[in-house]
Amino acid sequence: MSFLAIQHLHKSFGGLHAVNDVSFALAAGEIKALIGPNGAGKTTLLNLLSGNILPDAGEVIFLGKPIQGLKPFQIARRGMARTFQNIKLFPEMTALENVMVGRHMRSRSGVWSGAGNLPWTWKEEAGIRRKSLELMEFMGIAEHAGTEAASLAFGQQRAVEFARALALEPDLLLLDEPAAGLNIYETAELAKLIRKVRDRGITILLVEHDMSLVMDISDSIVVLSFGRRIAEGNPLEIQNNPEVIQIYLGEDDA
Amino acid sequence: MQFCLCHGGLVFFMTPELFLQYLFAGVTYGLIYAIVAIGFNIIYNTTGIINFAQGEFVMLGGMTAISLHHYLPLPLAIAAAVAITMVIGALIEMVFIRWLHNPSILRMIIITIGLSILIREGALHIWGEGVRALPYFNGNEITSIVVLGVGVSPQVFWVLGVCGLMVAALYLFFKFVPLGLVMRACAANRVAATLCGVSTKNMVTFSFVLSAGIGAMAGCVVSPITYSQYDGGTNLAIKGFTVAILGGLGNSMAAVAAGLLLGIIEAFSISVVPLAFQDAIAIGILLIILFIRPHGLFGNRSAAMLKEF
């Protein structure tokens, strides 16, 4: 049984086959990258996995159970967290509060008993706060805990979103272009961070345009083009795959 | 709407005692308006809709408590009335709102207007047109506590205390309690909240329950002063809506300031214009605000432009 199996997944928008009969699998503990030219269907595929859009056909088996058709919050509760290409934080809340929202569903007493100000929920709240701060320390942004998310720098916002996703204690983390907008130095830091997250036992599926990052950290790579899976393999195989070279560099020598 | 402290007619000069009388009256009403406005805001924040049945929650709380008080002691009757109104709030959301798939904001608002009429007519059938009231929590109509030389009904302090406590509790709830944080998260970015494992539909139900609860509580505590009647909610909804707009939609703490402002303006207005014009003042303020500062006194113009409604 594989950790995550995507089988014959299909999604079209009008006449456009955004994701066309795509199948691949993830093994537990690996870092897998999803690459392809713009419009290849990478983000659509992530949205299908996290339940933000529903597939027309195909199956997604996560930890042995089909998850296609479930609501995003149900999929999140089964252990799949994600970040976004365009960061989606809760702008008017502090960085710490953002992370705490990710943490709430791991709390023992659950959301509903948290409605009353009962002594054990106060203790629980303190636990959520402590754990969230730990994660922010792990991400290196603890000193910004009390800052409103909207007023943080771009890279820091990305780190908050990352921490919030980790707060769910996911088994699988989907990262949508985490290096977008980062400079070379920040990207190198990100690579270290992604490895550190994997070392915590979290499997990672990464959509990324930065090829140096992808080749550096990925255990295996899936290449999409016009919604179809055209290649899969380790970084070396992908770099030497004639079809991949062709879609990235064009027919003739560039 | 009659207030026991007001003298009616025109008053051309004001003694310090009279000033304080008006001030107490204004603050009392102001806090009730603020509670209704916070009810609007809680639901607005999680759904983007204005629940025009908000005033009916206040009416239902008062009327239910009055009926239950025939069988139960006052505190129990109030607690039960609040609980029943919360259940009604949950049912309204689950029956009329929850199952709609991507409804337009306008459609949901019209549903709430329909609901407010439905609840009002239902109340008319159950309770009739009669004006009722809960007994004063302490003493009776003529009991008064002297504050700075003026007699104030103890019920006024009940209203101040209970509404003040509710505002403080809500502030702490949204700031520190995990469920409060999750509700704010839903308001800020629904897509991100759902990916954090939050069921936004449950949060919407809960926002109706919370709004119904605070509305009903306000309806009980104010009933001895303002009396309860089947159609009492309409007027409160208009005032509460004015206050919510005045403070800036969605901003509950600003609603408290705006509520006190409207309450005090109304109370003092009767010294210059006849009592009958009191409601016209609220509507007048609403119109002026909508024309010149639609994002509210404390709101942010650019943030307001991003909102759907």
pLDDT tens digits, A196-205: 889 988 999 9
Express each pLDDT in B202-257 by its tens digit.
Answer: 888 999 999 999 999 999 998 888 888 888 888 888 889 889 888 888 788 888 99
Sheet with A65-66: list strands edge to edge: A16-26, A4-13, A57-62, A65-66
Pairing of strands A172-176, A80-82: parallel
B4 is a domain residue: no
Q: Which of B140, B159, B224 is nearest to B26 (CA)?
A: B159
| B13 domain residue, yes or no | no
Q: Which residues pair with B152 in a beta bridge?
A: B145
Within a domain: residue B293?
yes
Whether residue B15 is contained in a domain is answered as no
- Count of structural domains, chain B: 1
Domain that holds residue B62: 20-306
Q: Rounded mean pLDDT of chain A?
A: 85
How far is it, in rounded angstroms, from Cα B122 to Cα B141? Answer: 30
Say if B168 falls within a structural domain: yes
* Residue A116 reports pLDDT greater than 80: no
**pLDDT exceeds cutoff 80 at B173:** yes
Whether A88 and B176 lie within 8 Å, measured CB to CB: no
Residue type, B209: V
Closest chain B residue to the Cα of A113, Cα to Cα: B179
For B95, the enclosing helix (H) or strand (E) is none
Q: What is the DSSP letter of B295?
A: T
pLDDT at A138 over 70: yes
How many angstroms separate the CA of residue B142 from the nearest CA in chain A? Answer: 37
Q: Residue B29's closest CA among B167, B248, B217, B222?
A: B222
Q: B176 to chain A: which residues are within 8 Å by CB?
A: 125
With respect to residue B241, please indicate whether it lies within any of the assigned structural domains: yes
Measured in angstroms, the CA of B182 and the nearest CA of chain A are apart by 6
pLDDT band of residue A122 (cuts 50, 70, 90) is low
Q: Tell me the whole-structure pTM to 2 decimals.
A: 0.78
Provide the CATH number for the domain around residue B76: 1.10.3470
Any domain includes B138: yes
Flag if B188 and A90 touch (Cβ within 8 Å).
yes
For residue A5, which of A45, A64, A56 has the smallest C-alpha distance?
Answer: A64
Query: Using CB atoms and an 8 Å cut-off, which of residues 174-203 of chain B contact chain A?
Result: 176-179, 181-182, 184-185, 188-189, 191-200, 202
Q: Do the Cβ atoms of B195 and A128 come within 8 Å?
A: no
Contacts of A115 in chain B (CB under 8 A): 177, 179, 206
> Quick one: pLDDT band at residue B89, thresholds 50, 70, 90?
very high
Interface predicted TM-score (ipTM):
0.72
Nearest chain B CA: its distance from A130 CA (Å): 13
Tokens of B273: 């214009």
Which member of B172, B179, B188 has the closest CB to residue A92?
A: B188
State the average pLDDT over residues B19-32.
88
Nearest chain A Cα distance for residue B204, angstroms: 13
Provide the shortest C-alpha distance from residue A52 to chain B (in Å). Answer: 8
User: What is the 3-state secondary structure of chain A?
Assistant: CCCEEEEEEEEEECCEEEEEEEEEEECCCCEEEEECCCCCCHHHHHHHHHCCCCCCEEEEEECCEECCCCCHHHHHHCCEEECCCCCCCCCCCEHHHHHHHHHHHHCCCHHHHCCCCCHHHHHHHHHHHHHHHHHHHHCCCHHHCCCEHHHCCHHHHHHHHHHHHHHCCCCEEEEECCCCCCCHHHHHHHHHHHHHHHHCCCEEEEECCCHHHHHHHCCEEEEEECCEEEEEECHHHHHCCHHHHHHHHCCCCC
Decide if B11 is inside a domain: no
Mean pLDDT of chain B, nearest integer:
83
Instruction: Using an 8 Å CB-CB cutoff, list chain B residues near A124.
Output: 178
Q: Does B237 touch chain A (CB under 8 A)?
A: no
Mean pLDDT of B68-87: 92
* SS3 state at B179: helix
Q: Contact B195/A121, CB-based, under 8 Å?
A: no
Containing B147, the helix (H) or strand (E) segment is strand B145-147
pLDDT of residue A119: 57
